[in-house]
Amino acid sequence: MERTLVIIKPDGVQRGLIGPIITRLERRGLKIITMKMIQMDYDLAKRHYAIHEGKPFYEKLLEYITSAPVVVMVVEGKEAIEVVRRTMGATNPMEAAPGTIRADYSLEIGRNLVHGSDGAETAAFEIPLFFNEDEILSYSRDTDRWIFE
């Protein structure tokens, strides 16, 4: 089982899309193992998006992600990192495949609703920025045997 960090960004919360976004993840069979609503401060945003420092969109990205509350969660499942990325769709919603969250609910790269870790190393770096290990739950679901072969 793999873990990945998912953030419903400020536009997702403001637009009342917390439910629809979580529904997309849940109905695929992914398991939420911790979740909370926070407003990211500048320091946390800088750490989370450190790899983008220096890029032309960096300052605007920090402004946007800290501008209002977000919902942050850890999602678990077989190949959860790739599955979440594919469920979200391409970074630019214009290029995201129909049926993905970004394609179905958004239009612009700077308002693309969701974040998902882009690899195992990224997930291992990002999850502890938001959660202590003791906040992450371990539980089984009776439906797991109907989701995983």
Q: Which residues are catalytic?
A: 115
Query: Taking the complex as a whole, how short is the minimal distance between the CB of residue 63 and ligand DAT, in angstroms?
Result: 11
CA separation for the pair 4, 43 (Å, rounded): 21
Q: For binding to ligand DAT (CB under 6 A), which residues are involved?
A: 52, 57, 61, 91, 109-110, 112, 115, 118
How many amino acids of this chain bind Mg ion (CB under 5 A)?
1
CA separation for the pair 58, 106 (Å, rounded): 20
Contact call for residue 118 and Mg ion (CB under 5 A): yes
The smaller minimum CB distance to Mg ion, of residues 119 and 144, is found at 119
Contact call for residue 82 and Mg ion (CB under 5 A): no
What dihedral do alpha carbons 21, 77, 33, 117 form, nearest 10°?
-60
The smaller minimum CB distance to Mg ion, of residues 29 and 110, is found at 110
Asked if 148 contacts 142 with a C-beta cutoff of 8 angstroms, the reply is no
44 touches which of Mg ion, ligand DAT, none (CB within 5 to 8 A by kind)? none
Query: Taking the complex as a whole, how short is the minimal distance between the CB of residue 137 and ligand DAT, in angstroms?
Result: 25
* φ and ψ at residue 50, rounded to 5 degrees: -55, -35
Measured from the Cβ of residue 106, the count of other Cβ atoms closer than 10 Å reads 24
